[in-house]
Amino acid sequence: MQERKPGYLPSLKLVAIAAVLGIVAGGLAVYMRGAGDGNGSMQASVDCAPAQATIARLDPLAKGQVAAFVTEKHGRNLSLPGFKGPDGKDMKLEAYQPRVQLVNLWATWCVPCREEMPALNALQKALGSDKFQVTAINLDTGDDSKPKEFLAETKIDALPLHHDATLASFNAMKKAGIAIGLPASVLVDGRGCMLGAMNAPAAWDSDDAKALIRAAIGEGV
């Protein structure tokens, strides 16, 4: 039996058309401006109350190219199952703390994901530091040959490969009401507390996106 993959989402333009016509096509995932009801299994394992001040700064910046970004309302900690790091060894998101991370789930068979990757790569080049990084986790099943080939062909040179062939990362985020399809991005602070999420591709190299990230890492505060 062929393994089911999390469905990638259509373009925002198609969603707008579907909304106007009131059509829900069978099996079609729709972008939602919301990160779920927070009733999933992903509960806070650290005190995320201090993150509320950062979230308050982000609220007015969810506009323009990142208008679909939804700030976190439940004070949850993002704790994902382990995955393979750039060296092929098991690791977890916590290994990159205390950086703020934009955690992005993607796959080579997801067209919007492929289109989004150059923007994520540019964002990492522009703002990547000891305070921030894009952590892109690939969900291709099997070995890592396809994602490696894609990254090389498209010259994605600032994002090392993180690989979760089990889809556990997506399943955990889906169960928690965070992800509804691919691509899915979650912004977390240096303690692993969720700041917000987006279930749509975005122009992460835009001025709007950079303003959002700068506010998350406290630049200009």
pLDDT band for position 74 (cuts 50, 70, 90):
confident
Please report the domains of the chain, with CATH numbers, ordered by start residue. Answer: 12-216 (3.40.30.10)
State pLDDT tens for residues 3-53. Answer: 445 554 444 443 333 333 332 233 333 333 333 334 444 554 689 999 999
Closest Cα partner for 197 from 117, 78, 79? 78
Q: Identify the pLDDT of residue 35.
A: 38
The answer to pTM > 0.75 is yes
CA 82 to chain centre: 16
Q: Identify the pLDDT of residue 219.
A: 86
Q: Identify the pLDDT of residue 33.
A: 33
Burial class for 24, CB neighbours closer than 10 Å (0-12, 13-18, 19+): exposed
What mean pLDDT value characterizes the chain? Answer: 85
Q: What H or E segment, with its residue span, contains residue 114?
A: helix 111-127
Q: Identify the pLDDT of residue 220.
A: 65
Lowest mean pLDDT among 22-36, 124-138, 178-192: 22-36
Closest Cα partner for 116 from 9, 6, 4? 9
